[in-house]
Amino acid sequence: MQHRFDYHRSMTAHPDLASLARVLGEPSRMHMLSLLMEGRALTAKELAHGTGIEPATATSHLRQLLDLNLVSCQPQGRHKYFRLASAEVARLMETLMVLAPRTQQTETDLPPMHQARLCYDHLAGRLGTFVTRRLKDLEVITPDYQITPQGEVWFLDLGIQLQPLKKSRRKLAYPCLDWSERQDHLAGSLGAALVGHFTGQGWLIQTKHTRLLTLTEQGNEQLQVLFGALPAGVVFQRTGSAEASH
């Protein structure tokens, strides 16, 4: 039997992609959304400062972003705080960042979000792609993201129990394209367990209400024991210091 989909005039034939493209095509608005990718709620004044535009211009841009439900606004006292409206918007931004041409950037001025962050619930950024490469180099996982027999031992020695992960309905391990590095990092329940171990040990610290991960001094030492010298641009936070060093 051939099934037919009947169209009704009340249905929207096509999403208004032109409006979305027009709003996202303005560099200052995209810069604002990029700032909000860190997960922090920011005021219009803070977004204006971070983008390098006048507050009145920032307010106008935010109004357009609000109209398309790309950002949400939360009044608190005398201030209004803006953040990305949903996880779908964050995923859209990550996809656009993968597709966008790259600008030149030195190894020493890598933004914190490019160094280490959460991508959903697994490790991303330069540290994430580095760890994934080293897991392959050490033959802990295969190039197609299968755990090797020696990988089983490696994870057990690290303190990660694989059996519960294998019994889960969630896919164990698969590649996820990193928007800032343009390389794959480890995703799946194994990737989540690995970053959970790193944060549980205090090697990585997640900044509250953001996806940003900070490498600690202890983490710098322990990850080098596991994987060797860390890549250029990844810095660690010295204990009791506000400055990061490598």
Pick the CATH number of 17-99 from 2.60.120.10, 3.30.1490.190, 1.10.10.10, 1.10.150.120: 1.10.10.10
Asked if residues 205 and 213 have their Cβ atoms less than 8 Å apart, the reply is yes
Asked if residues 216 and 205 have their Cβ atoms less than 8 Å apart, the reply is yes
Model confidence at 129, in pLDDT bands (50, 70, 90)?
Answer: very high
| Separation of alpha carbons 131 and 194, rounded Å | 10
Q: Is the pLDDT of residue 107 over 80?
A: no
Model confidence at 103, in pLDDT bands (50, 70, 90)?
Answer: low
Higher pLDDT, 197 or 96: 197
Q: Where are the domains of the chain?
A: 17-99, 107-245
Model confidence at 69, in pLDDT bands (50, 70, 90)?
Answer: very high
| Separation of alpha carbons 238 and 218, rounded Å | 9
Whole-number average pLDDT of the chain: 87
Higher pLDDT, 208 or 223: 223
The CA–CA distances, whole Å, from 205 to 5, 117, 216, 238, 240 equal 51, 10, 7, 12, 14
Q: pLDDT tens digits for 166-221?
A: 999 999 999 999 988 989 999 999 999 999 999 999 999 998 777 899 999 999 99
Asked if residues 19 and 34 have their Cβ atoms less than 8 Å apart, the reply is no
pLDDT of 239: 67
pLDDT of 104: 58
Higher pLDDT, 91 or 205: 205
pLDDT of 13: 55
Model confidence at 105, in pLDDT bands (50, 70, 90)?
Answer: low
pLDDT of 56: 94
Which of 89-93, 140-144, 206-210, 230-234 reaches the highest mean pLDDT?
140-144
Please tell me the pTM assigned to this model: 0.67
Q: Is the pLDDT of residue 22 over 80?
A: yes
Task: State percent of the chain over pLDDT 90.
Answer: 61
DSSP string, 100-118: SPPPP--GGG--HHHHSEE
| Separation of alpha carbons 18 and 187, rounded Å | 33
pLDDT of 109: 64
